[in-house]
Structure 1
């Protein structure tokens, strides 16, 4: 596998994972569920999926400008 092929595969995998995460958050937000997250300091938190979805959407909008 060439370097270009590896880069293309990596790009596709990252895109697919981001898409799957967004769909999961959308489904959980529709059902008003929480998502369990680990923080950098090792804590485990339950965060509403709607809050995460808003945060991701807001970051996407500001990076598009």
Structure 2
């Protein structure tokens, strides 16, 4: 594979993973479930999926 082909494949994979994560978050929010996250310093946090979804939409609107 050429560099451009690798780059295109990488972009497609990143897009697919982001889409899957978004869909999972939306489904968990509908079921009023929580998400388990880790912070950069390694701490574990449990957060409402609805809260995360709301914050993600706010960030999207800022861009």
Asked whether the two chains share a fold, i.e. TM above 0.5, the reply is yes
Relative to the length of structure 2, the TM-score reads 0.95
Structure 1 residues without counterparts, runs of 5 or longer:
none
Unaligned runs of 5+ in 2: none
Query: TM-score, structure 1 length as denominator?
Result: 0.92
Alignment: residue pair count: 63
Distance (Å, rounded) in 2 between the aligned partners of 1:56 and 1:41: 21
Give the Å deviation of 1:56.
Answer: 1.0
Superposed displacement of residue 5, structure 1? 0.4
